[in-house]
Structures are given as C-alpha cells and as structure tokens.
Chain A
Amino acid sequence: MREFLLVLKISLIDGLNLNGMKPKNIDKKRLWVVALIILCIPSIGILYRGYLNLISNFSEAFVAISQEGFLVALSYNVISLLTLMFGFTYVSSYFYFSKSTDTLIPLPLKNSSILASKFVMIYLYELVFSILFISPILFNIGKLQSYGFLYYFKSIVSILLVPVFPLGLAAIIMIFLMRLTNLSAKKDLVRSFTLYLSMIVLIGAQLYLRKIFSEIDFTSNNDFFMKLVTDNTFLIESFAYTNPVARWLGLGFVSGDVSNFLNYSLFVIANLLTFAGFIYVGNKIYLEGIIGGNEVASTTKVITDKELDNQVSKRSNVFFSIAKIDFLTIIKTPIFMINCIGVIIILPVILLFSLFNEGTEIKQQILNLQANYQDILPLLIAGGIILIIAMSTTQSTTFSRDGKAFWISRIIPVSPAQHVIGRSIVPFFISLALTIIVVGTSVYFLELEVVTIILITGLALLGVLPIIFLGIAVDGYSPKTTWDNPQRAVKQNLNVLVAFVVYGVLIYGLWKLFDLMQSSFDSLSIVYGIYIVILMIVTVGSFYIASKVIDDKFSQHIN
C-alpha cells in the first residue's frame, strides 16, 4: 500500500502538473490562457445549467411513474459506454506509451503498484464526468423522494464506482491486446487497427441493440401501461442483456425489498471484481506487453543500394516533405491516429450502421428537412463538415505532436508560409475525405443537383481552410512540446480548447453573416456568391495570421 501511495503521489504531481499549477510557477506569458478559460466558464455554466434543468424535468417525470431506477440505469449506461470508449485510448497512452513507465519499470516496484497508480490517474479524469453528469440525477431523485442518509451514502458510493467497471474492462482488454499485438512486426498499425475495431464493434453493438429495442412495439401491448405503473423495475429490465451492471445499479436504486439490495451489492461486487481482475491480469502479462512493445524490430532489413537509390531519388517539395513527416507521425502513433483520423473512420461506420438500421426512417426525416430548408441546405451540410473538422485536434496540435523534436521545425530554412501550407495538408486531406463521405451520403439520401453538390463541396472545403489555419496559429503560438505520453499532446492540450473558442467565434460570425445577407438580398445566387468571396477573404486573413504567428513565435519559445 505504501508503495502504491508513493507511486501515486509522484504520478499525480507529474501527470496533473501540480507543481506547474502553483501561482509562483505559472508562466506569465500563458496567463491569457488562464483568463480565456475563466471567460469560458460562464458559457460552459450556461450549458451545464441547461443540462441540470433537463435532468430536473426528467427526474420529476420518472419519479412520477415510479421508474426513477431506469433513469439511473440509463445514465450509467451512457456514461459507462463513453468511459469504455475513451478508456481504450487513455489506458494505451498511460500504460504503454508514457515515458514515466520506462522510469518506473526498472525500479523495484510491484506491477500492481504501477498499474493501480496509473489506473487512479485515469479514474480521476473519468470521475469528473461521473460527478458532473450522474450526481444531479441521483440527488434530484433523493430530493423528490425525500430520502435519508443511507440513500445519499449509496449515491456517493455509486458515483465513485461509476468509472471503475468500464475503465477496468478497457484496461483488461488493452492489456490483452498489447500482449497479443507484440507478436506483430507492425505493432503500431495493428494497435491502431484493433483500437478502431474495438470502437466500431462497440458502436455497432449499441446501434444494433437499439434497433432490436426500437422494433419492440410497446404501445401495442396492452400490458405495457399497466406494467409501467405497477412494476417499478419494468423498464430497467431492458438492460438485462445489453448492460447488466446498469441493470444492477438501476434495481439497486429502486426502493424496496432485499432483492434490490442484492442487486446493488452485485453492482458493487462487479466493480470490485473488475478492478481485482485488472490487477490480476496486469500482474500476469502487463510487463510482457511493455517489454515487447519496446523491443526493436530485429527483422528490419538492411537498406540495399537499390533501396537507397529509390528512397533518395524521391525528392519532394518543402510543403509535401513537412506534410509527410506530419502524416507519418500521426499514423505511426496510435493515439494520434485515433484522435486525428478517427473521425473519417468512425463516421462512415456510424453512417453505414444508421443506413442499415434505420435507413428509411432517416431518409424520410432528411427529405423533410430538405423540403423545409431548401435554401440553406448546402450551407447546413457544409457547416456540418466544418463543425466536425473544428472538433478535430489535428490542426490545433500540429506542432505539439512534434514534442521534443519541435526544434527541427524552428531551425530549418522554411518560410512561415511554407510551414503553414505544409502543416495544412494532412488536415485538409482529412477534410477532403470527410467531404467526400458526407456529400456521397447526401447524394444517396437526397436528390441533389450537380450545382448543389459543387456548392456544398466548395463551401465545405473553403470553410475548413480558416479553421485549419487558425488551429495551426493557436498551436504555433504556444505549442505543448513537453509531454511524457502522446495523449497529453492531443487530448490534454489547452490549445485544443483555445482553438475551439476561436472556431466558435468564427463559425458564429459566419453564420450570422449569412443570415444577414439572406435577409438583405432576394437572389440566393448573389447571397452564395458574396458568401464565397467573404470565405476567401477570411481564408486569406487566417493564413496571414498563422504565418505571422509562426514568424514571430518560432524564435521565442523556450523549449
């Protein structure tokens, strides 16, 4: 225990940068970031307030029909699925790609101490979501039912346990995956592939199960309303096959007999057993996964004269050479690949599943939407593409991903404009692939004219450029190059948040501008014509901003 606490203390200080948070250690040049976050708090507060109101209404409705246990089970189901999905990337980066692991492995520490301390680190991140999203539900129900101390005690225990099962499961799966993928010569590729596959299977399973339940016509069943009123576990039973842990938790929160207490006990035991299972599996095979992962591929062939000739004869211009380095770094680092390219792999899967499951229904809904919003349909579809790219971390972490190798970008004789173009190529191709997928799907669903297709494509590709350039500017201003695992370069990077704020302002401004123009001009062609010209000006302006930032800042960074 002492050993675990010791490792945990060091992991927390290092992982959460606790020393850097001390006022005397805060870099004054980054105070503006702190100020920006403080400014964001009210807007996030407004959104959270909306969530609280929604939950309050839901709680009242479910309590009124005595189905509050279902609400608890449902919220747990959503949060645990999200935790499981994010858990894969967190576990792989903290357990396997963190430099601190290399420091800890040679020390005389038990595997379990290293694993448990890392688990707690990830658990703390996930616990924040549990507190923010599940606690309002439990406390609303407690308030409405005027429950006593025992209920609140149980609620706190539940909130603390929410991340344990999905995270433990993700960790066990990842430990097995890492052990198995060590057999492969192309570990990084295989690991990225298995991560994607796991996510796709999860999404597919959820959508498939949703389809099964949506096909059950509850309302035609005469017993339904009777059961709804008389049986307060009726809805919870729908989780019997999809997520039994959610069912146990839901039943545990239904006031009543011993069986409900037993169900709650099962929830607690499931969490504790998963944690114990994770420690057991970790103790057995974690180390082999780590060591195998660090092993040099001894099968790599020595480069022959012919291969050398081939390699060196492939001269590229500076833009493509920078883009190539950027691309190789992304695809050879599973965490980067998941975060940067994930959208163009996951989105088509979701679209395909949706088509397979609910094709006709969705098509009808979209056709209705098309009929109602004919004029702005190109802008809506292009706007969707732009929003997805704005949510991507590819551009706003481009220099951060270089890590300690960032110095190379700063000493090479490359102009700021060349840097910006080079760094834009990968995110632009991601945007292009996304545009093809979305436009292709739109063509399938809607009877679009060629002009409309061209307009959507043009608006989308022109619209993503300022997003890409501004993301590069944000990261170029203050890249996070000091990180000990790749997760921190893309997920725990403030530049992503700052970029979101910048994109938010830009997208809101552009949306308002279109609105204004639409009310000022009668001809839609004129509106779109002027709008494209404005987008071009914004693109040039953001390119200039990115170039200027790189020109000014590349000789000012310390690291």
Chain B
Amino acid sequence: MLKINELSKSYAKGTKKAVDNISFEVKQGEIFGFLGPNGAGKTTTIKQIVGLLKPESGTILIDGIDNQKDKIESKSKISYVPDNPEIFTKLTGIQYLNFMADVYSVSAKDRKERITKYAELFEIRDALNQQITSYSHGMQQKIVLIGALIHDPKLFILDEPMVGLDPKSSYNLKELMKERCQQGNSVFFSTHVLEVAEKICDRLAIINNGKIIAMGTMDEIKKELGQDGSLEKIFLELTE
C-alpha cells in the first residue's frame, strides 16, 4: 500500500539530515507503527508521504502511484491527521466535514452514513452545529479524524493520534484502526505511546537521527536484537 524507497530530506542547507535514506513498506491490511524520540524524523517522513514536503531524493509509492508524479491521484487514496490538528475554526463541524466530503467527491448517501457513524462513535454529534473555535483540543482532534475518514481512504496516516483524546475515544480509535485493516485498508501512524504500538501494530519501525534502526514485527525485532524485554526497554536501549 505504501512503499518508501531511499527517502532523504535535509534542512538548513543540507547540513541537517532529518530523514536519511530510509526504506520501508506498509502492506495492505497492515497497521504499521512508526516510533522514535522527538526530532528523530517521524513527522518529516509523514509530511513527505502526504505531500506537505517535497522529498530531496527517493520515491514514495502510494498504492503503486508515485506521489510526486501523480499528486492528485495519490492524495485521493490517503488521509492524514496531523499531530496538532489546526483547522478552519470559523466553520461549524458539519461545514468542515461537508467541505472534506466535497473535495474527496463523497456521495451524499456515503457522507451521511459516515458522518453519523463516526460522530456517534467519537461522541461529537451534538457539537456538529457549533463553530470549531468552541471545540476543545480533543474535539478538534475528533473532527479532523472524522474528516480524514469521510472518503474511506485506503491508507490512513496519523501523526501522534492519541494526543488529546479521552480514554474512550482513544480505545475507539484503536478499534477503528483494526477494523479498517480487516477491511483491507492500511494504517500508518507515529506514536510515543509504546504500549499502543506494541498492542495494535502488525509491524513497526524505530527511527532515530533520520535513520531506521529497527523494523519488523515485535518478535522479529526482539529476535534481531537478541532481546526479550518490553518494547519500551528495546526502544530506550536503541535510541540512547
């Protein structure tokens, strides 16, 4: 579903490699966790995948489509939830969702069905008529999540999605991620919550200083590193 090949990105005139020649693949029906300490290169990688940054070198294939060659087609297959979901605060929740449905060409029937389903799941239906400026951080996160799911994307990309969500919504989101993968879609997300990654990810990658330092299923990583501890212990040792 997502194939990253030798991707690099530098800042400050090339003196700081934020992402250094990384390659990995997210398969269909897979939840892929992307871990790393602050400033490791997670968000830079994600921003290149969703088209917010241009790769310096390397390729990004989304469902076989090069995201630099066919931007529109590749964007239509993904959805993105940023770590700090700032959106058009002057709109009401329903106006924002309608906008997202319009730009992804979602039919009236589908948008109604999905808005109802996800708004009830995240318990935000009663606030859909209110201006987003009145929403709490968690509510804004929820409305961005619903906006991202409204076109039923093949690849769901989330940057630190659990931040700001209440425990119930966090649980619901995890269940939703699993459900999506069972339907043949894929999820790629970054997180600092290692327990979440350990529990729900089919595979994961750990990035540090722009390089991927470990990748695979939990068992594969443990085996490769000759460790038998928790993901937290492995993570701390690898990134120290």
Interface assignment of B25: CB less than 8 Å from any CB of chain A: no
CB-CB < 8 A to A188: which residues of B? 90
Asked if B134 and A297 make an inter-chain contact with CB atoms under 8 angstroms apart, the answer reads yes
The minimal Cβ–Cβ distance linking B129 to chain A, given in whole angstroms, is 4
Tell me, in angstroms, the Cα distance from A414 to B71 when the chains sit together. Answer: 9
Q: A405-B86, A408-B87, A411-B51 are in contact. Are A312 and B98 (CB under 8 A)?
A: yes
Within 8 A of B (CB), among A380-420: 402-405, 407-408, 410-415
Q: Name B residues whose Cβ lies closer than 8 Å to a Cβ of A.
A: 50-54, 71-73, 75-76, 80, 82, 84, 86-91, 94-95, 98-104, 107-108, 111-112, 115-116, 125-126, 128-131, 134
Asked if A329 and B72 make an inter-chain contact with CB atoms under 8 angstroms apart, the answer reads no
Asked if B90 and A556 make an inter-chain contact with CB atoms under 8 angstroms apart, the answer reads no
Interface assignment of A332: CB less than 8 Å from any CB of chain B: yes
Interface assignment of A325: CB less than 8 Å from any CB of chain B: yes
Tell me, in angstroms, the Cα distance from A411 to B134 when the chains sit together. Answer: 25
> What are 10 sample pairs from A and B whose C-beta atoms fall under 8 A apart?
A302-B126, A303-B94, A308-B94, A312-B94, A312-B98, A312-B115, A317-B102, A404-B84, A405-B86, A411-B52
Instruction: Considering the complex, give the chain A residue whose CB is closest to the CB of B76.
Output: A413
Tell me, in angstroms, the Cα distance from A115 to B49 when the chains sit together. Answer: 45
Asked if A318 and B86 make an inter-chain contact with CB atoms under 8 angstroms apart, the answer reads no
CB-CB < 8 A to B115: which residues of A? 308, 312
Tell me, in angstroms, the Cα distance from A405 to B89 when the chains sit together. Answer: 8
Interface assignment of A449: CB less than 8 Å from any CB of chain B: no
Instruction: Considering the complex, give the chain A residue whose CB is closest to the CB of B55.
Output: A555
Q: How many residues on A have C-beta within 8 angstroms of the other chain's C-beta atoms? A: 43
Q: A407-B52, A414-B103 are in contact. Are A313 and B129 (CB under 8 A)?
A: no
Per-position binary interface string of chain A over residues 313-355, scored 1 when its CB falls under 8 Å from any chain B CB and 0 otherwise? 1111110011011001100110000000000000000000000
Inter-chain contact total with CB atoms closer than 8 Å = 111
Asked if A297 and B51 make an inter-chain contact with CB atoms under 8 angstroms apart, the answer reads no
Tell me, in angstroms, the Cα distance from A481 to B207 when the chains sit together. Answer: 29
Asked if B88 and A402 make an inter-chain contact with CB atoms under 8 angstroms apart, the answer reads yes
Asked if B51 and A405 make an inter-chain contact with CB atoms under 8 angstroms apart, the answer reads no
Q: A315-B108, A410-B51 are in contact. Are A329 and B88 (CB under 8 A)?
A: yes
Asked if A324 and B99 make an inter-chain contact with CB atoms under 8 angstroms apart, the answer reads yes
Neighbour of A308 across the interface among B91, B99, B116, CB < 8 A: B116
CB-CB < 8 A to A316: which residues of B? 98, 102
Interface assignment of A25: CB less than 8 Å from any CB of chain B: no
Tell me, in angstroms, the Cα distance from A412 to B73 when the chains sit together. Answer: 10
Asked if A413 and B75 make an inter-chain contact with CB atoms under 8 angstroms apart, the answer reads yes
CB-CB < 8 A to B54: which residues of A? 555-556
Asked if A321 and B116 make an inter-chain contact with CB atoms under 8 angstroms apart, the answer reads no
User: Besides the contacts A312-B101, A332-B131, A555-B71, what 12 more A-B pairs have beta carbons closer than 8 Å?
Assistant: A300-B129, A308-B128, A309-B112, A312-B112, A315-B101, A324-B95, A329-B91, A405-B88, A413-B72, A555-B52, A555-B53, A558-B53
Tell me, in angstroms, the Cα distance from A307 to B51 when the chains sit together. Answer: 35
Tell me, in angstroms, the Cα distance from A547 to B103 when the chains sit together. Answer: 18
Asked if B51 and A555 make an inter-chain contact with CB atoms under 8 angstroms apart, the answer reads yes
Asked if A318 and B51 make an inter-chain contact with CB atoms under 8 angstroms apart, the answer reads no
The minimal Cβ–Cβ distance linking B135 to chain A, given in whole angstroms, is 9
Most chain B beta-carbon neighbours within 10 Å: one of A312, A322, A325, A412: A312
Most chain A beta-carbon neighbours within 10 Å: one of B98, B108, B126: B98
Interface assignment of A22: CB less than 8 Å from any CB of chain B: no
CB-CB < 8 A to A450: which residues of B? none
Interface assignment of A2: CB less than 8 Å from any CB of chain B: no
Asked if A302 and B129 make an inter-chain contact with CB atoms under 8 angstroms apart, the answer reads yes
Instruction: Considering the complex, give the chain A residue whose CB is closest to the CB of B115.
Output: A312
Q: A311-B98, A315-B102, A321-B103 are in contact. Are A410 and B52 (CB under 8 A)?
A: yes
Tell me, in angstroms, the Cα distance from A27 to B63 when the chains sit together. Answer: 36
Tell me, in angstroms, the Cα distance from A186 to B222 when the chains sit together. Answer: 59
Tell me, in angstroms, the Cα distance from A412 to B99 when the chains sit together. Answer: 10
Tell me, in angstroms, the Cα distance from A425 to B101 when the chains sit together. Answer: 20
Tell me, in angstroms, the Cα distance from A558 to B48 when the chains sit together. Answer: 11
Asked if B99 and A321 make an inter-chain contact with CB atoms under 8 angstroms apart, the answer reads yes
Interface assignment of A296: CB less than 8 Å from any CB of chain B: yes
Q: A302-B126, A410-B51, A411-B80 are in contact. Are A311 and B75 (CB under 8 A)?
A: no
CB-CB < 8 A to B72: which residues of A? 413-415
Neighbour of A297 across the interface among B80, B88, B100, B130, CB < 8 A: B130
